[in-house]
């Protein structure tokens, strides 16, 4: 049993304080050792009675304020009683933990600490299991989560046991309204955050998953690939500046190879080999999926590759192409699109869609072959890229029409059960 016990409500003026309300704190003292808890309620120092530990006055607002402190005081005594009944040591810290819902002796885990530890581990595995781009997305997600805590809850960190479904829905609303994130960006940040929550659940730190009744759904984004005439215009356009010519060439390389920006950037000269047909092939292990893609090089891609064979950056770093940063590539592509009279929003990823749709599928390459060259794990992913254009449908139907005409197909009418049927002879 404890020898002495004390409970005090007080206010501590912050450094540099001049005027305004101050937060009321509660000090629990057991055997000379104290623990402090914020009541999260504020009071003007003029209205505070330090001897009584309550507000002066008899207005309704004062009565409500003092009643709240009375209730908090009762909770302290109840927490103390529960410790005694369960044969737990009665200390100021244990009473405080009981009030905060933390079991005595149980380690407290903070949300942002867990998030930071996850990102630190990810950073140590860059180049082995994760890419720098993946780490950057989680670092951005970390900053968004921290900003949300500061704005919504006025704290820099939070006990993970306080995470619930309301927290998730509030976070989603904040991402959409305050950060102005689109639907898919919002879902991506929540997906990143869910990974941190899942880690807490698996470790037994969270009893209930706050994402249990929350669905993370992505909306399909329509990206228009370049048409054949647009590709021709892009390739033949006389560009004044070397930087634009180089970006145009590298973009075209992806249009005729199907490689994403990250995969083109890391291409080495050793990634080119002689394939089963005796021609040059490209072997690329996709950074995103870690799936190997084997791609026979088309003439346009080979010409571009050979054009930069003696480029200084390529020779020094043994690279296939002198790729700039993704940000610069996209900025220059928009400039090139304007010069070429292409009204579409041109980003580097459009090249991959162009390869799937305009270069391969529209020219009769089977979707299974395209899927292999794109480095996809299944056809469903390829179908997202491979939007069959009207021209391909028209060509296929014209071929069928010619086949039917060549066979001199004629029809005669037969009547079955009162219905007229067309029968081919």
CATH number of the domain where residue 339 is located: 1.10.443.10
The DSSP line for 85-149 is HTT----HHHHHHHHTTPPTTPPP-BHHHHHHHHHHHHHHTBTTTB-HHHHHHHHHHHHHHHHHI
Question: Within a domain: residue 356?
Answer: yes
Whether the predicted pLDDT of 276 surpasses 80: yes
Least confident of 14-18, 158-162, 306-310: 14-18
What does the alpha-carbon distance between residue 422 and residue 416 come to, in Å, rounded to a whole number?
11
Q: Is residue 286 part of a domain?
A: yes
- Please state the domain count of the chain: 4
Same domain, 330 and 243: yes
Residue 190 has pLDDT above 70, yes or no: yes
Burial class (CB in 10 A: 0-12, 13-18, 19+), 189: buried
- Rounded CA gap, 100 and 77, in Å? 14
Measured CA to CA, the distance from residue 142 to residue 189 in angstroms comes to 9
- For residues 372 and 281, membership in a common domain is answered with yes
Residue 8, pLDDT above cutoff 60:
yes
- Domain extent, residue 80, equals 5-99
3 pLDDT higher than 80: no
Is the same domain home to 243 and 335?
yes
Q: Model confidence over 376-409: pLDDT tens digits?
A: 877 777 777 666 666 667 777 888 888 888 765 4
Phi, psi of 43 (to 5 degrees): -150, 145
Q: How far is CA 91 from the centre of its chain?
A: 44
Indicate if 259 and 118 belong to the same structural domain: no
pLDDT digits (tens, 9 = 90+) for 108-135: 789 999 999 999 999 988 877 787 778 8
Total-model pTM: 0.56
Report the alpha-carbon distance of residue 44 to residue 154 in Å, rounded.
Answer: 20
> What's the token pair of residue 286?
């996709």
Where residue 246 falls among pLDDT bands split at 50, 70, 90?
very high
In a domain, 272, yes or no: yes
Q: What is the phi/psi pair of residue 239, to 5°?
A: -105, 135
Is the domain of 380 the same as that of 235? yes
CA dihedral 330→335→336→342, nearest 10 degrees, is 100
Listed in sequence order, the residues at least 6 apart from 345 whose beta carbon sits closer than 8 Å to its beta carbon are 334, 337
């Amino acid at each position: 049993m404890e020898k002495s016990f004390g409970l005090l409500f007080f206010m501590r003026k912050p450094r540099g304080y001049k005027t305004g309300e101050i937060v009321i704190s509660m000090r629990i003292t057991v055997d000379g050792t104290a623990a402090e808890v914020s009541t999260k309620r504020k009071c003007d120092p003029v209205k505070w009675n330090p001897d009584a530990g309550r507000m002066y006055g008899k207005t309704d607002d004062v009565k409500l304020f003092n009643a709240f402190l009375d209730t908090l005081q009762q909770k302290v005594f109840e927490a103390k009683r529960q410790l005694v009944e369960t044969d737990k040591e009665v200390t100021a810290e244990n009473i405080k933990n009981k009030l905060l819902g933390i079991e005595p002796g149980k380690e407290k885990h903070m949300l942002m600490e867990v998030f930071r530890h996850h990102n630190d581990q990810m950073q140590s595995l860059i180049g082995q299991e994760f890419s720098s781009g993946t780490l950057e997305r989680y670092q951005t997600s970390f900053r968004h989560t921290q900003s949300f805590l500061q704005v919504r809850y006025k704290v820099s960190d939070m006990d993970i046991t306080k995470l619930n479904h309301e927290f998730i829905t509030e976070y989603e609303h904040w991402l959409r309204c305050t950060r102005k994130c689109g639907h898919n960006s919002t879902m991506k940040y929540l997906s990143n955050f869910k990974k941190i929550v899942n880690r807490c659940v698996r470790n037994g730190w969270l009893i209930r998953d706050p994402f249990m009744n929350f669905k993370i759904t992505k909306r399909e984004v329509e990206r228009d690939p370049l048409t054949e005439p647009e590709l021709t215009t892009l390739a033949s356009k006389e560009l004044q500046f070397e930087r634009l010519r180089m970006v145009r060439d590298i973009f075209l390389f992806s249009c005729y190879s199907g490689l994403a920006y990250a995969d083109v950037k890391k291409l080495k000269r050793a990634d080119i080999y002689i394939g089963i047909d005796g021609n040059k092939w490209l072997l690329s292990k996709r950074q995103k999926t870690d799936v190997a893609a084997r791609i026979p090089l088309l003439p346009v891609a080979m010409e571009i590759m050979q054009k930069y064979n003696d480029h200084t950056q390529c020779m020094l770093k043994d690279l296939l192409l002198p790729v700039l940063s993704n940000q610069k590539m996209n900025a220059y592509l928009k400039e090139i699109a304007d010069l070429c009279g292409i009204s579409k929003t041109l980003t580097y990823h459009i090249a991959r869609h162009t390869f799937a749709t305009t270069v391969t599928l529209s020219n009769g390459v089977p979707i299974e072959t395209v899927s292999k060259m794109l480095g996809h794990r299944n056809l469903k992913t390829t179908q997202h890229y491979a939007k069959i254009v009207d021209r391909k449908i028209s060509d296929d139907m014209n071929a069928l029409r010619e086949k039917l005409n060549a066979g001199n197909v004629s029809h005669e009418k037969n009547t079955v059960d009162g219905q007229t049927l067309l029968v081919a002879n």
